[in-house]
């Protein structure tokens, strides 16, 4: 009986020590915060007011994270802040900031915009695309969408069928 009691007391002691150690880790704010990309500060942003040249933007802010797909009329400076409690865990995105510098046809800054997670702007960081307003519909979806759409889809399907 006393050996079972000793084993039980040891187990309780080990469990309480583990609980204390783990609670100390979480209360001590152990973990790491990862900053990636270009962090925008007010002083640097004041160096590129509306009316600045493209060269002045490049000298003040550096090379952009990405540019617009067409005509390079927009520079995007992207930064993210991620946090993970332990080194082996996946970091969680806690903040994202996108500074967009818009240029007119002469290469002069026409507008500055600063987007964050709160703005709800959809921006795919990997493929660098934004969704369009249209939708892709299958043939069956076109048939079921309405009488005008079904007739047009049927005409398109059978247009070259006899040739």
**Per-residue pLDDT tens digits for 37-63:** 888 788 888 889 999 999 999 999 999
DSSP state of 72: T
> What pLDDT digit, counting tens, does each position of 78-130 carry?
888 889 888 788 888 888 888 889 999 898 999 888 887 776 655 544 444 55
- Alpha-carbon distance of 2 to 100, in angstroms, equals 72
Q: CA Rg, the chain, in Å?
A: 29
Say if pTM beats, i.e. exceeds, 0.85: no
Q: Which residue intervals of 28-146 are DSSP H helices?
A: 42-45, 54-61, 139-145
């Amino acid at each position: 009986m006393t050996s079972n009691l000793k084993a039980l007391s040891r187990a309780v002691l080990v469990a309480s020590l583990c609980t204390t150690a783990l609670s100390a880790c979480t209360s001590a704010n152990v973990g790491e915060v990862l900053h990636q990309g270009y962090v925008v500060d007010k002083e640097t942003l004041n160096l590129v007011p509306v009316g600045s040249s493209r060269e002045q933007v490049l000298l003040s802010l550096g090379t952009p994270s990405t540019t617009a797909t067409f005509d390079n009329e927009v520079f995007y400076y992207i930064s993210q802040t991620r946090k993970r409690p332990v080194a082996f865990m996946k970091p969680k995105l806690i903040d994202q900031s996108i500074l967009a510098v818009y240029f007119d046809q002469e290469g002069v800054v026409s507008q500055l915009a600063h987007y964050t997670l709160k703005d709800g702007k959809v921006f795919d960081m990997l493929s660098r695309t934004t969704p369009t307003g249209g939708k892709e519909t299958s043939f069956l979806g076109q048939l079921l969408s309405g009488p005008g759409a079904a007739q047009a889809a049927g005409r398109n399907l059978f247009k070259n069928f006899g040739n």
